[in-house]
Structure formats: C-alpha cells, structure tokens
Structure 1
Amino acid sequence: MSSADFPTPAAVSAVPPKYLNTSALLLMALASGLCAGGNYFNQPLLHSIALSLDVSETTAALTVTMAQVSYALGLVLLVPLGDKLERRGLAVTLMLLAATGQFISGFSVSITMLSIGIIMAGLFSVAAQIMVPMAATLSDPGRSGRAVGLVMSGLLIGILTARSLAGLLSELGGWTTVYRVAGVIMLLVALALWRLLPPSRNPAQVSYLQVLRSMTTLIGRYPRLRSRSLMGALTFASVSVLFSTMALLLSGPNHGLSDASIGLVGLVGIAGALMASVAGRLADKGFGVTTSITCLLLLLLAWVCFWLGSTSLLWFLVGMLVIDLALQGLHITNQSVVLQLEPQARSRLNAVYMTSYFIGAASGSALGSLAWRLGGWHAICIVGVVLTLLAGAVFLYDRKLARAELKAI
C-alpha cells in the first residue's frame, strides 16, 4: 500500500475540535477503567466459577486466556476504526457492547454462556483504547500529554482495583455480582459520554481494509513508532516477568501470604497509576527525555528491591511502588511521542503501539515462568534487569532517531 492511499499529515487538515474540559476527561478516565478492568474480574473468582458452573478449575482458568485473546483481537481489528468512524459514537457503541458482555457473564448458567460473555466484553472493551487517542485529539495541543495521562490513570486504576473489587463483591453476593454491577455502571457512563463528548471524526474517508493495511504503512513510515513500540514492549515484558511469578514467591515459605493478601499487595501499584498524569504533564513541558531516562533507572532500581525482597516483604513493597511508577511514566511518555507522529492517524498509531505492548506482556509472562523453573526468584530478577537494559538500548537508538529528525527539519 502506497502512502498515497492514505492522506499524509500535510494532506489532511482537521476541523479544530472543541477542547475537552477536566470533567469530560475524568468521565473518559472512569469509562476506560471500567472497560479495561472488566477483563480482570474473573482472575480471583476462578474457584467460585468452577464450583458454580460445575467445571474444573483448569476449564474455568481458560476464561482468563479468552479475555486476553479477545482484547488483543479488538486492538487490531476495532481500535483502528477510530480513524475512520465518528469517534464518540464508536466509543459509546463499543462500551455498550462490552456492558452487554458483562451482563451475559453476570447471568451465566453454563461455562459456554460465561465464555461468550467474557469474549464479548474483552473484544469490545477496547473502547478504552479509542478514548486515549481521542483525549489527545480533542484537547488543547499544549495539554494533550496531560489529557492522555489522565485517561490512562483511570484505565490503570481500573485494572489494578478490578481483582480486589471482584473478590469483595463476590463475598457480598456471589461471583456474578461484579459483572452485573459493572454492566449497570457501564451503561450509565456510556450514556453520560454520549451527552458530554463532542462529535469527532477524521476527515479522511477510506475503507476499513485501507485502515487496516495502512497500519503497516505507518510502521514503515515512522522509525520512532517502531522504536517506541519496541521500548514499550520490553519494559512491559520486564514488569510482566514480575506479575506472572510474584504470587509464587509471596505464597511460598519466605512470606506465606494468602491469596487475599497477595491481591492487596497489587494495590500498591495505584500510586504508580497516578504517575501517568504526572508523566503526561512533563511530556507537555518538554521533559519527555528526562522522564524516560529517570523511569528506566527506576525500573533497574525496582529489580534491586525485588532481589532483596526475596526474604523481605518491605523491600518487595518498595519494589512494587517503584516499578509501577517507572512503567507508567515510560508508557505515557512513549504514547506522547507516538500519538504526535501523525495526528489524524492516532487510533491506528495507538493500535500498533498497544499491540506491541501486549505482545511484550505475553512474552514477559512466558519468560517469567521459564526463569522460575530454571532458577527461582533470583533468575526472575536477572531476566527483569536484562529486559530493562535492552529497553535502555532501544531508548538510546530512539534518541538518535529524534536528533536525525531535528536535523532534517
């Protein structure tokens, strides 16, 4: 596909949108958190689901994979539509469909019905990834990083609190309660979004096939899309090495924590989610490079804390706080760079970046399992450090690309 098949930045002049206020951004943050968090409800409920639906825990655990795979498909197939369709209508429609999936899950009487609900909710929960570039598009250009950071903070807090809320509501009214409550709230928030957000559409008129094919064109056109996507994948892989194995350490003889206590440890990451907004503000002020360097160093520091945390819960908690701060700072800085490459292609750029990001997550989880089998917790820490150093090398390459772009102007 040639670049002529899809308008270049100079070829398309978008109508100046009405800038979003803080209330609208906060509502988008809430919506993003509900959508993304819904994919994690089932993780602490697998035992209850297995008992209720009369299936094995192994079968119930397959619903976790279903949620992840359907979300990945949504990233590739649905998020790019934000550059073709009217964005407000698309985001609200996807959110309504995700809410329908939550209701199906909440009233499931069989594992088949639950699977349909979880797949549907996962596929359409990518409404959250429509709203991230939408926040950048409809905000004051000088504050787009802040807008992206605020919406991402909501998304991340939703993910971090989803497991704890699911466990709490399950204790109060059974495992289906969280799905029913989430479905109702998502319907109300979707309607509020429709009333509050202004319509927004990319002026480029192209087919769906062109939208999908143009993603490969964007990858070839922008070296910094490739470098920042790879950097994001490596950093998320480093953190996923931790997330996929931390329960094995914390439940082991050195710490002996219960499942509920391990879930509470994850809530330390909420402080890291708040870093997303700070990182967005720093990017707006031109401190993206400094933020990236600082966060890469923090990521290395976190792994030192985890090494010490093999026998000290205090050091482990410090590591959790530092690694979430580092991950979110890097993630938002990466997105700030990527979303500025071609303003009218932000949904496709975000789809490319986020797909790479979650490929990194899956790879990190696999590496974590392998490292645990081969060398236990200290092997986990070594793998985390190596992935962080690789991300640092990619960052140095990205800096060369940025300097080359400045010279070419």
Structure 2
Amino acid sequence: MQVNSSNGISRTVIWLMAIISGLVVANNYYNQPLLALISEDLKVSESAASRISVLTQIGYALGLLLIVPLGDKFFRKKLILIDLFLVFGSLLWMTFADQLWMLYAASLLIGATSVIPQLFVPIAAELSTDKEKSSNIGLVMSGLLLGILLSRFIGGIVGEIWGWRAMFGIAAGLMVLVWLAVYKMLPELHPNFKGTYRELMQSVIHLARTQPILQLASFRGAMAFGSMCALFTTLVFHMEKPPFNAGSSVVGSFGLAGAVGALAAAKVGALQKYLDLNRIILYSLLIVIGSWGFTYFAGETYWGLIVGVILVDLGVQSSHIMNQTNYFLIKSNAVNRLNTVYMVSYFIGGSLGTWLASIAWQKAQWPGVCFVGATFGVLGLIAHIVFCNKVNKA
C-alpha cells in the first residue's frame, strides 16, 4: 500500500478505491429502476417485484456482518479477490434466472457479496491522518455514492433498450475488469486480529454494546438511509402512473439529480473548519426531512421530485460521512468491525425503509410513502438532539 507515514495514504490509492467502490456497489441498485420491467416480464405484482430490492439490502447487511469483519483477520487483497468471484457468479445467476425465487436468491447473494467498498472505507480511515480523515472518507464515499446514483440512471436506460437481463450481464462483465484491477494495482495490507472467527464476531457485538458514539451514529445512519430508500424504491411505481407515464430510463435519470447532492456532500468535511461535527449532522438531518416537503407537496411535478431527490441525497450522504468520521475517531485498531456495526445498522434501516414504503404504496400510494420517509428522518433527528451531547461527554 502506498503509504507515507507523514503524509498518510496517497491520492492514487484513494482514487482507485473510490472508482472500484462505485463499480461494485452499483450491483445493489441496478434493480431499482428495473422493477416495473421485471414485474411485467415475470407477470408478478409490483409488491412481489419490490422484494428484490428488499432482499438485496438484507443481503448487503448480512455481507457486512459476516464478511467485512474478516478484513481485520485476513489479508484484505485476497479476501476482496475471492469475494469478487462470488459477485460475478451471483450477477450471472440474476442474468439467466427465469423464476421469481431465483431472482430473490440471486439478489440476496448480490447484496451479500457486494460489500467490497466497506473494506475500502476503513483502509482510508486507518491510513489517513486525523486532518485528512473526513476528506479521504468523503472521496471514497463519493465514488460509492456516484456508483449508487449512476447505477439507477444506467440501469434504467439499459433496461429500456435491451431489457433488464442485459444490465446484470454487463455488470458481471465489469466485475471481471474490477478483479483484474484489484489483482494488479491494490497492494496487500496485513491483518490486525489473531483470534478465531467466533472471537472476531464476539468483538463486533462487544463494540456494538460498549461504544455510545457508534450506537448513536448507527441509529442516525439507519434512519437517514431508510428515508432515502423509501423514495427510490417506490419512485418507479409513482412515475409510471399519470401525470408522468414515464419509463424506466426517465426514473433512472433521477440518479443524475441525486448525483448533484452526492457531489456536494463529498465536500461536507470542509465545513468542519466552521462548524462542529454534531451541528453539521443536525443540519443534514433537517435537509432530509425538508426534502420530503418538496416530494409530497410538489410530488406530481418533475421539478418537485428533482428538488426532493437532490436534497434527500445531500442530507443523507452528508450525515453519513460525518457519522463515519465520528466513529473512526474512536481510538481502536478494529476499524473493519466498527464499520461493520455501523453499516449493518445502516442497511437494516434501508431494508426497513424499502419494506415499509412498499406497504405504504399499496395502502396509501404516494402520500403514504412520503409519510414513511419523513418519519424516518424525524426519528433520526430526535435521537441526535436527545443523545449527541450525552454521548460526547461519555
């Protein structure tokens, strides 16, 4: 690893991790603008198709819990190369699956194996100086976030032109290129945990129980991400109806609007010169809640949805980067395990947001979805206001 003890990690390595993070995490989100196409192709209900997104996020949470802690125990390059092989196989299965249960199983596996970015974020944190920590995490997270947002845009276009299966076939081909890039360009990093896998997992539970900063960051992250997932999972169903009557490519293009918020969020670390971390998180959560005002009151217009998407992405990703900066300041060599606790919580929140939004869509359509999304944001804000000062004094 190109590391200089005085300067921290090199920008070349950070950029490499950012690009690979985007390409790998995209696998989890190609399905979102394609759900209507899958529903039509397999002749299943919208609700049944939306479970593909839920299972992908549950799979990601399982991968975070069971695979990411291994970054502290094994050589990370070898772990990443093995994992990429499994990602490739899962995407191929998704490409050729012809029954709903196969799509469900493949989606769960795609989520579980596409956790490589969460091995990169701790590397960026571990090898950065305190001064560079938030900016380096922000850069890796920008790559990850652009992967999430552009995947929806690209998935929508590819799905409309060549069909939903083509997107997963292309994604499998990209994983071959990523495997070669990791093999040739990513140097090795030594493990820092010598115990058994059981002891490793027990230490994850111990961190979750004993670190108040990590606990609060995890809850805030879960609520914010649940709010965002509520929007993006149901947006495709909202926009295929009047007054929009839009196809998957139009829905996917909202990822470009979200990219505006994402790029702005990447610079949030610079605000620490003027505002303390807790205040930045407070404002970020207020932006998340405010985004639902546009999404609800102007939800029948393109401009209202675009502003809502930009704001929700800005708020969620700003709070996310600050949450990670917060718990990576804990003096511990268990960086992958700290990240595991946070990211498992984060994606459980996302799965919950997706699930509740799909129920809300069935029962109350778009107003129900907006209620779910806003409620998640409010819960995150209340927890932050009530506990942030107590946690920092502990």
Common fold: TM-score over 0.5: yes
1:289 aligns with 2:278: yes
| 2:87 counterpart residue number | 98
Verify the 8 A CA contact 1:254 1:310 in the aligned structure 2: no
Aligned partner (choices 216, 219, 223) of residue 230 of structure 1: 219
Q: Offset at 1:81?
A: 0.7
Please say which of residues 82-91 and 282-291 is displaced more in the overlay: 282-291
Verify the 8 A CA contact 1:145 1:283 in the aligned structure 2: no
| 1:5 counterpart residue number | none
Q: Distance in 2 between matches of 1:240 and 1:68?
A: 10
Please say which of residues 257-266 and 215-224 is displaced more in the overlay: 257-266
| 2:357 counterpart residue number | 368
Verify the 8 A CA contact 1:150 1:277 in the aligned structure 2: yes
Q: Distance in 2 between matches of 1:115 and 1:300?
A: 32
| 2:313 counterpart residue number | 324
Q: Offset at 1:32?
A: 1.3
C-alpha deviations, 1:299-337, integer Å up to 9, x for none? 232122223213433122112111110010011111111
Aligned partner (choices 337, 346, 351) of residue 340 of structure 2: 351
Q: Highest CA radius of gyration, 1 or 2? A: 1
Verify the 8 A CA contact 1:17 1:200 in the aligned structure 2: no
Against the structure 1 CA distance between its residues 96 and 28, is the aligned structure 2 distance closer, same or farther, given a 3 Å change threshold? Answer: farther
Verify the 8 A CA contact 1:27 1:189 in the aligned structure 2: no
Aligned partner (choices 236, 242, 247) of residue 258 of structure 1: 247
| 1:273 counterpart residue number | 262
2:59 is paired with a residue of what secondary structure?
Answer: helix
Structure 2 gap segments, 5+ residues each? none
C-alpha deviations, 1:312-365, integer Å up to 9, x for none? 331221121111100100111111112222441111111111111112122223
Verify the 8 A CA contact 1:147 1:280 in the aligned structure 2: no
Structure 1 gap segments, 5+ residues each? 1-14
One-letter code aligned to 1:23? T
| Pairwise CA RMSD | 3.1
Q: Distance in 2 between matches of 1:292 and 1:352?
A: 19
Q: Offset at 1:128?
A: 1.8
| 1:312 counterpart residue number | 301
One-letter code aligned to 2:340? A
Q: Offset at 1:172?
A: 5.5
Q: Offset at 1:240?
A: 2.8
Against the structure 1 CA distance between its residues 174 and 259, is the aligned structure 2 distance closer, same or farther, given a 3 Å change threshold? Answer: closer
| 2:67 counterpart residue number | 78
Q: Distance in 2 between matches of 1:315 and 1:46?
A: 23
1:245 is paired with a residue of what secondary structure?
Answer: helix
| 1:242 counterpart residue number | 231
Q: Offset at 1:175?
A: 4.3
Aligned partner (choices 171, 184, 195) of residue 195 of structure 1: 184
Q: Distance in 2 between matches of 1:162 and 1:376?
A: 25
Q: Offset at 1:80?
A: 0.9
| 1:338 counterpart residue number | 327
Verify the 8 A CA contact 1:87 1:134 in the aligned structure 2: no
1:184 aligns with 2:176: no
Q: Count the aligned residue pairs.
A: 388
Q: Offset at 1:376?
A: 4.5
Q: Offset at 1:17?
A: 10
One-letter code aligned to 2:209? G
C-alpha deviations, 1:117-176, integer Å up to 9, x for none? 544433221112111112211233321211111111111211222233234335565544
Q: Offset at 1:65?
A: 4.6
2:336 is paired with a residue of what secondary structure?
Answer: helix
Q: Offset at 1:254?
A: 4.1
1:41 aligns with 2:30: yes
2:333 is paired with a residue of what secondary structure?
Answer: helix
Please say which of residues 285-294 and 113-122 is displaced more in the overlay: 113-122
Verify the 8 A CA contact 1:47 1:57 in the aligned structure 2: no
Verify the 8 A CA contact 1:32 1:151 in the aligned structure 2: yes
Q: Distance in 1 between matches of 2:170 and 2:78?
A: 23
One-letter code aligned to 1:360? G
Please say which of residues 297-306 and 40-49 is displaced more in the overlay: 40-49
Against the structure 1 CA distance between its residues 100 and 236, is the aligned structure 2 distance closer, same or farther, given a 3 Å change threshold? Answer: same
Q: Offset at 1:66?
A: 4.3
One-letter code aligned to 1:217? H
Verify the 8 A CA contact 1:104 1:116 in the aligned structure 2: no
Q: Distance in 1 between matches of 2:39 and 2:226?
A: 30
Against the structure 1 CA distance between its residues 273 and 151, is the aligned structure 2 distance closer, same or farther, given a 3 Å change threshold? Answer: same
Q: Distance in 1 between matches of 2:288 and 2:110?
A: 32
Q: Distance in 2 between matches of 1:275 and 1:382?
A: 26
Q: Distance in 2 between matches of 1:186 and 1:272?
A: 27
Verify the 8 A CA contact 2:124 2:136 in the aligned structure 1: yes
1:220 aligns with 2:209: yes
1:133 aligns with 2:122: yes
One-letter code aligned to 2:199? Q
| 1:393 counterpart residue number | 382
Verify the 8 A CA contact 1:76 1:351 in the aligned structure 2: yes
Please say which of residues 390-399 and 59-68 is displaced more in the overlay: 59-68
Question: What's the TM-score, normalizing by structure 2?
Answer: 0.86
Q: Offset at 1:275?
A: 3.2
Verify the 8 A CA contact 1:153 1:275 in the aligned structure 2: no
Against the structure 1 CA distance between its residues 396 and 251, is the aligned structure 2 distance closer, same or farther, given a 3 Å change threshold? Answer: same
Against the structure 1 CA distance between its residues 186 and 375, is the aligned structure 2 distance closer, same or farther, given a 3 Å change threshold? Answer: closer
